[in-house]
Chains A and B, each alone.
Chain A
Amino acid sequence: MTAYRLSAGGLVDRTNRMDFKFDGRTMSGLSGDTLASALLANDQLLVGRSFKYHRPRGIVTAGPSEPNALVTIGQGSRSDPNTKATVAELYAGLDARSQNRWPSLKHDVGALNNLLSPFLSAGFYYKTFMWPAAFWEKVYEPIIRRAAGLGRAVLERDPETYEKVWAHCDLLVVGAGPTGLMAARTAGRAGLRVILADEDFRPGGSLLSETVEIDGMPAPAFAETLLAELRSLPNVTIMPRTTVFGWYDDNVFGAVERVQKHVAQPQAKLPVERLWRIVAKRALLATGAEERPLVFGGNDRPGVMMASAVSTYANRFGVASGKSVAIFTNGGTGYRTAADLAAQGIEIAVIIDSRADADDVAPTGTRVIRSGSVTDTKGKHRVSGIVVERSGFEDTIACDAVAMSGGWNPVIHLACQRGAKAVWSPELNSFLAPDVGNGLAVAGAAAGIYSLAACLSDGAGKAAAIIADLGFSAVSDVLPSVSGEIDPSFTALWYAPGAKAKAFVDFQNDVHVKDLGLALREGFGHVEHAKRYTTNGMATDQGKLSGINATGLLAAMQGISPADVGTTTFRPFYTPVAFGALAGTSRDEHAAPVRKSPLYNWAQKNGAVFVDSGLWYRPAWFARDGERTWRQSTDREVLNVRQNVGICDVSTLGKIEIFGRDAAEFLNRLYCNAFLKLPVGKARYGLMLREDGMVYDDGTTSRLSSEHFFMTTTTALAGGVMSHMEYCAQVLWPDLKVRFCSSTDQWAQMAIAGPKARHVVQALVEDDVSDAAFPFLAAQAVTLKGGLKGRLFRISFSGELAYELAVPAWFGEAVADAAMEEGRAHGICAYGLEALNVLRLEKGHVTHAEFDGRVTPDDAGFGRMVSAQKSDFIGKRLSTRYGLTAADRMQMVGLKPVEADKTFRAGAHLLREGAKPSTLNDQGYVSSAGFSPTLGHDIALAFLKSGRERYGERVVVWDKLGGTETVAEVCHPVFVDPGNAKLNS
């Protein structure tokens, strides 16, 4: 027994015991504990294994920089790997397991790596595993890969929920320690909208671990007083358990709130974690400082901890880290810990001070070794003693814990995330935050101010400056008085001399001093090279503890200043954030919104099988009893449309109402074909190009009155075309008198197609729809029987006699029902996208399978449609480029199999008969293919080099991916009704 719970003290609730499990063993902790403090209270020093050498490791810190005490919490789909025990809030029933060990934490086979460590020095991967050549891929790499990682991700569906929220404030204070609390109070009293965020479950920061008195109160009580006032202010929001992880452009901060990570059974109506996007006019970093480890021989033995952590465990959690604690320090903090231990009655084995002339006062009777160095530690799974050297004399001193203090680093992470580099302060022996403008200020220990009294004053002062800057007036304030402070200043010590064992810099990744030396020797001395070569700072703590020492060591080894070495780049996330929290509710079926057509219910009633099409769900086919495959349904639907009549939902096409004196001119510039003279009451097929001359989209546009047009776009590009038109109208031609808006959602639109379509349409509308009164491409407002107003268009994608009827969306279902009813006598059927695709394929009509963004109008056979008369339209000039008019371009053709029972599919490539497959011999590809029930064999549209000259030629449809080769005849791409007799009937 070494570590233990003190009999009294701390901010834990001794009346509320909580049982939890570690590696299957039941242990007991208290409400207010972290998992780490509870483990220590149970004398569990060994908590993990390091990454490379699998060395036994214990708790080092009491906070988010913990490199060693990583555990998996929870079971099955609720397990969280790599959770830091030092920040995990204890709850009854918590189930934690150690990681990266097999078969057990105590007996780990992987520890053999430790014996091989001479071969596993920095960069060893790159020099080795190359012989014999074939072995890397087959033998070495799989072994290395299997050794990867720490915790295990189960990759099962997470049963819990997450959400995201936006918040706005005048001032965001990051950190609710002494500085942050004072800043929030000052700003809150002045009436600013303040958000005070703190990563701990209990706000107060270092005040929770302090033994000084403030305004005559113990520090934690003082914190509670400030918090009580803040809670009473409606303009102040306190957010505990909230880590601000990133600082983004325009003072937007990302923060994650652990809403229910500390409960065994989360409530279903609340998320477990919540992502906050905080838009802050100003922000104040009051993130405090991080204690710096000392780099000495054997410094990774379980029981070696940060001095401040030893103090925190004693003062805040009422836990002694050992019965006899040795302290190794280069500054005042070691003496503070000594005082804390003495106050709790814990034995201090020795204080080793690296400095010769320090005048810090040790507790009475404590042995102090000045100018001393720890060169090694004793013990196996926990420390049992230290080897101390002073002026060439060596001494072994028994102890069961070591508190180390290498000084302090301001926590400046957020301030350095947007490109500005940390600035070295020779006075403070630390990197300080750069000046990043007035959006973000830094205060207190985060600004290198280590005296508590000064922090309280700095927090209030910096807040006052922000208050004035934002035009508020500060309420005058009396600063609290502090008694009993210890001066935490220190002298830099990058490396404790005389190490007799590996002296670790990065604990988790097992980077020790010699690795950095090797990196330097091999030319990897740049701080980024050294990081990448040795992996120093790349572990889950991202170098919070190791970065500064690596910089210091690289500087010392080269005899230069740490300023000349610099730091590696600080990047989000300050501490790791779960995918789930960053994704929020936008996942699974809710990854994107669903758009539903007004005819969705109608389709569903009629047996539709839906397929997603962009954000929409559209009917793919309408299964009837006895049909077992989509092909059966589709073939029936196609034949029925060709022979009788069918009805299809086309509501998802983009619809745009265009008005204005210059509407026609606008369209004329937008489309490559002419629109100026489109008569009122007529629709026209239009082809829109990109400015580079390639086809962008197609559709029909109808002239409903002289200054009112109605455009349809494809479903896929409805949004894109709208944006393109807005760009043209607003940016390119702002002086054209044209206005437009989308009416896609206003109309339910149905295509009624087939030789008997007219009977159905005439039964629905009052107006005369005969060919004479309403010929092909007629377009006008109509009145349905009963008075409902709609629009009717005589356009056809299927190639049949066809109408598109549009009615106000809420009436869509009823009208479609009526159409089915009226059509029953004519054999009407509903048809879906699959049938529509076959119908258009038979007719040689194109879709985005053909218009894939690399196709010119001429490639697709629309060359003559492009107006030569118009002086300008989008895409005109660049469509004349050499490569876009070259004779060997691929042109759209039809294909039919030479043997009628042979099939082919889209994506196959084309070869000349007898030609060897090669990129050079590649003649083109199939863009769309399918079985034509009308013709009784497969047909395809394809793009073939100089294709229009090659009708009648045989080509090989080469589908190596599918293992087929089919001989096909090149033909005209219109397979059905090339004379348009049906269309015009």
Chain B
Amino acid sequence: MRYSAFSIVKNALTGNVNWKPAWRQPEPKPFYDIIIVGGGGHGLATAYYLAKEFGLKNIAVLEKGYLGSGNVGRNTTIVRSNYMLPGNEPFYEFSMKLWEGMEQDLNYNAMLSQRGIINLYHNDGQRDAYIRRGNAMWMEGVPAELLDRAALKKMLPFLNFDHARFPIMGGLLQKRGGTARHDAVAWGYARAADRLGVYLLQNCEVTGIRRENGVVTGVETSRGFIGCSKLGLAAAGNTSRVGQMADLKLPIESHVLQAFVTEGLKPAIDHVITYGAGHFYISQSDKGGLVFGAEIDGYNSYAQRGNLATVEHVMEEGVTMIPGLSRVRVLRSWGGVMDMSMDGSPIISHTPIDNLYLNCGWCYGGFKATPASGWCFAHLIAKNESHPVARFLRLDRFERGYPIDEHGAGPQPNLH
């Protein structure tokens, strides 16, 4: 059922008892042309674009839990396209444009809020790096602004301008950056994909990948064997476990990233702000909670929870950036399992197996990529060739010597 002003009024006046399920709960068919493993944002978006943009039918998304139960439902909701390297920036800008048309496209309000993202810098070296980045954005046609201390003071008077250990000198602003309602992105893609006939199979855990003569013929699941002609993996957080079923060798480590939300507060912080003397970032949700996080805990983990030492470190950075946070109470912390790649950039790629495609390595930045990831992965699966903006995101870039290393940290995932 299409959401419109008319349907809202009609249902409100009839007690909201006539709304239909957002998606079907179908039984698995024995065979699909395309199976996507992972019913998170990326998997659902992939299925949607396969159906919508590439006109394909007979697609299933297999989700081991409930739809959107992975990182799409446990991130800090930031949307931006302020990257530096040519392997990344065009891709994320493509994503940004898709965000900007998402509500109308999906007939679902994911509450994109382009409130602007500001990356603070604290020394000349960081400033220069941001200038390089801002100019790289402009090269791709993406507006960026460099703010000096005075401009920043006007815009964000609550920052720690007078007592910061690492003085705040300015910031790089992308006005189009912002946030979106994370769960709604998954639900919107799910509902739209379902309307195009995609099978969304929840509680359907993949336990094996069946291969014959070097190609994938289907997957063993907790709901039985399901055959397919093409298999796409979009199981970030569990990529290594699924990949192992097809003997893929992957440049991925799983790490835990914690995120936090405070009690609901009246509007206080209007932008997304990131701290340059650490990893802290913060924004305020439409419900009033301050949503924030910082670095990963640093050790390999599949547990969706983190440790107190990291929590304390995040709070130290937060209070140092915005002293007025001191008395704000933190309501909840949670953890997501990150697919950390060896260069900090994602992978949308062919694999050594012809009809097996891979979408992984999103590190802690997968949310903003959701639409482009879906589109480009769909492009790869449908046409068997990379979308132009994703052509650098290959699995073999490591052995070939083409890392996309935004931080210059090298092949140690927990440094990215």
- Given known pairs A576-B329, A611-B123, the reply for A119 and B264 (CB within 8 Å) is no
B286 touches A590 (CB 8 A): no
Most buried by B among A164, A419, A961: A961
Q: Most chain-B Cβ atoms within 10 A of its Cβ — which of A164, A277, A540, A878?
A: A540
In the complex, the answer to whether A853 meets B326 with C-beta atoms within 8 Å is no
Judging by beta carbons under 8 Å apart, are B305 and A878 in contact?
Answer: no
B248 within 8 A of A: no
Decide: A119 near B135, CB < 8 A? Known: A576-B330, A881-B400.
Answer: no
Closest residue of chain B to A256 (Cβ to Cβ) is B329
Chain-B contact segment, one of A22-30, A366-374, A567-575, A947-955 = A567-575
Q: Let me know if A131 is at the binding interface, CB within 8 A.
A: yes
Nearest CB to that of B303 among chain A residues?
A: A419
B400 near A121 with CB under 8 A, answer: no
Interface: B265 (CB within 8 A): yes
- Kindly list chain B residues whose C-beta atoms are within 8 Å of the C-beta of A906: 128, 131-132
**Chain A minimum-CB-distance residue to B142:** A919
Q: Which residues of B in the span 175-192 have a Cβ within 8 Å of any Cβ on A?
A: 181, 183-184, 187-188
Tally of A interface residues using CB under 8 Å:
127
Residues of B within 8 A of A82 (CB): 263-265, 329
CB pair B138 A588 closer than 8 Å: no
| Contacts A141-B111, A149-B287, A252-B308; A587 near B316 (Cβ below 8 A) | yes
Are the CB atoms of B8 and A542 closer together than 8 Å? no
For residue A291, give the distance in angstroms from its CB to the closest CB of chain B.
22
Q: Are B8 and A148 within 8 A (Cβ)?
A: no
Cβ contact of A909, chosen from B128, B136, B164, B264, cutoff 8 A: B136
Q: Point out the residue from A526, A540, A583 that lies within 8 Å of B315, measured CB to CB.
A: A583
Which of B108, B184, B286, B332 is within 8 Å of A571, CB to CB?
Answer: B332
Q: A580-B327, A961-B134 are in contact. Are A587 and B401 (CB under 8 A)?
A: no
Cα A571 to Cα B336 with chains together (Å): 13
Asked if residues B131 and A155 are in contact (CB atoms below 8 Å), the reply is: no
* CA A124 to CA B181, docked complex, whole Å: 13
Contact B410 A130 (CB under 8 A): no
- Report chain B residues within 8 Å CB of A131: 4-5
The answer to whether B409 touches A853, judged by C-beta atoms less than 8 angstroms apart, is yes
Which chain B residues lie closer than 8 Å to A118 at the CB level? 12-13, 15-16
In the complex, chain B residues 4-19 whose Cβ is within 8 Å of any chain A Cβ: 4-5, 7-9, 12-13, 15-17, 19
**Which of these binds chain A: B221-229, B234-242, B317-325, B370-378?**
B317-325
Q: Does A81 contact B (CB under 8 A)?
A: yes
Contact segment of A399-407, A516-524, A734-742, A766-774: A516-524
Q: Which of B112-143 touch A at CB < 8 Å?
A: 112-114, 122-123, 125, 127-136, 138-141
Say which one of B21-29, B54-62, B348-356, B359-367 lies at the interface with A.
B21-29
Size bin of chain B's contact surface? 35 or more
* Cβ–Cβ contact A125 & B317, under 8 A: no
What's the nearest-Cβ distance from chain A to residue B102, in Å?
A: 10
Contact with B along A59-95 (1 / 0, CB 8 A): 0000000000000000001111110000000000000
A959: CB under 8 A from chain B?
yes
Is B298 interfacial (CB-CB < 8 Å)? Answer: no
List residues of A (511-537) whose CB comes within 8 Å of B's CBs.
Answer: 514, 517-518, 521-524, 526, 528-529, 532-533, 535
Cα-based distance from A121 to B141 in the complex (angstroms): 41
> Looking at the complex, which one of B12, B130, B166, B408 makes contact with A854 (CB distance below 8 Å)?
B408
Bound-state Cα–Cα, A577 to B329, Å = 5
State the main secondary structure of chain B at its contact with A: loop
A137–B112 touching, CB < 8 Å: yes
Provide the B66-103 mask, 1 if CB < 8 A to any CB of A, else 0.
11110001000000000000100110000000000001
CB closest chain-B residue, reference A879: B401
Taking a contact as CB atoms under 8 Å apart, the answer to whether A582 and B123 are in contact is no
The answer to whether B308 and A126 touch across the interface, beta carbons within 8 angstroms, is no
A419 with B305, Cβ < 8 A, contacts A128-B8, A692-B411 known: yes
| B279 lies within 8 A of chain A by Cβ | no
Q: Please tell me if A51 contacts chain B, counting CB pairs below 8 Å.
A: yes
Q: Is the CB of A576 within 8 A of B8?
A: no
**In the assembled complex, B154 has its CB within 8 A of some CB on chain A:** no
**Nearest CB of B to A721, in Å:** 14
Chain A residues closer than 8 Å to B166, beta-carbon distance: 591-592, 612
**What's the Cα separation between A446 and B346 when bound, in Å?**
45
Does A152 count as interface, using CB distance less than 8 angstroms? yes
A81, A131, A151, A591 interface centre (most CB from chain B within 10 Å):
A591
B333 touches A571 (CB 8 A): yes
Do residues B266 and A152 form an inter-chain contact, with CB atoms below 8 A?
yes
**B249 partner residues in chain A, CB cutoff 8 A:** none
Q: Considering the complex, give the chain B residue whose CB is closest to the CB of A575.
A: B329
Looking at B4, B131, B319, B326, the one whose CB has the most chain A CB atoms below 10 A away is: B326
Q: Give bound CA distance, A178 to B286, whole Å.
A: 43
* C-alpha gap A903/B314 in the complex (Å): 40
One of A538, A571, A579, A852 near B326 (C-beta < 8 A): A579
Closest chain-B Cβ to A227's Cβ sits at a distance in Å of 29
The contact string, 1 if C-beta is below 8 Å from chain B, for chain A 925-967, is 1111000000000000000000000000000001111100000
> Is the beta-carbon distance between A150 and B263 smaller than 8 angstroms?
yes
| Complex contact B312–A576 (CB within 8 A) | no
B378-411: which have CB < 8 Å to A? 397, 399-403, 405, 407-411
* CB-nearest residue of chain B to A74: B327
A907 within 8 A of B: yes
Determine if A136 and B103 form an interchain contact, defined as CB atoms under 8 angstroms apart: yes
Any A CB within 8 A of the CB of B155: no
CB-nearest residue of chain A to B135: A909
Identity of the chain A residue whose Cβ is nearest the Cβ of B69 in the assembled complex: A528
Chain B residues, Cβ within 8 Å of A693? 401
* Known contacts A153-B268, A248-B307, A907-B134: A141-B19 contact under CB 8 Å: no
Residues of B within 8 A of A98 (CB): none
Which of B104, B114, B401: most chain A Cβ within 10 A?
Answer: B401
Q: Shortest Cβ distance from B287 into chain A, in angstroms?
A: 6
A912 to chain B, nearest CB (A): 13
Q: Bound complex: CA of A578 vs CA of B263, how far in Å?
A: 10
Residues of A within 8 Å of B22, CB to CB, are 522-524
Taking CB atoms, residues of chain A closer than 8 Å to B330 are 573, 576-579, 582
The answer to whether A130 and B3 touch across the interface, beta carbons within 8 angstroms, is yes
**How near does chain A come to B409, taking the closest CB pair, in angstroms?**
6
A275 to B311, CA, bound (A): 12
Least Cβ–Cβ distance between B13 and chain A, in angstroms: 7
Closest B residue by C-beta to A121:
B16
B207 at the interface (CB under 8 A from A): no
| With known contacts A591-B317, A907-B131, A126–B187 Cβ distance under 8 A | yes
Question: Given that A254-B308, A962-B146 are known contacts, is A153 also in contact with B21, CB under 8 Å in the complex?
Answer: no
Q: Tell me if B217 counts as interface (CB < 8 A to partner A).
A: no
B323 and A125 form a contact (CB under 8 A):
no
Instruction: Give the distance to chain A from B387, nearest Cβ to Cβ, in Å.
Output: 15
Complex Cα distance, B109 from A155, in Å, reads 31
Q: Which residue of B lies closest to A78 (CB)?
A: B327
**Chain A residues with a Cβ under 8 A of chain B:** 51, 77-82, 118-119, 121, 124-131, 133, 136-137, 141, 144-146, 148-158, 160, 162, 164, 246, 248-249, 252, 254, 275, 277, 417-419, 514, 517-518, 521-524, 526, 528-529, 532-533, 535, 538-540, 542, 569, 571-573, 576-580, 582-584, 586-592, 594, 611-613, 690-694, 696, 848-849, 852-854, 878, 881-886, 905-909, 917-922, 925-928, 958-962
**Interface residues in chain B, defined as those with a beta carbon under 8 Å from any beta carbon in chain A:** 3-5, 7-9, 12-13, 15-17, 19-23, 25, 66-69, 73, 86, 89-90, 103-104, 107-114, 122-123, 125, 127-136, 138-141, 144-146, 158, 160, 163-167, 181, 183-184, 187-188, 202, 262-269, 277, 284-289, 303-305, 307-308, 311-312, 315-320, 322-334, 397, 399-403, 405, 407-411
15 contacts between A and B (CB under 8 A): A80-B329, A126-B184, A130-B3, A131-B5, A141-B286, A145-B284, A148-B266, A155-B158, A514-B15, A573-B333, A584-B316, A588-B160, A591-B316, A612-B165, A883-B403
Q: Which 7 A-B pairs have the closest CB atoms?
A: A853-B408, A907-B131, A149-B288, A883-B401, A881-B401, A155-B324, A148-B288
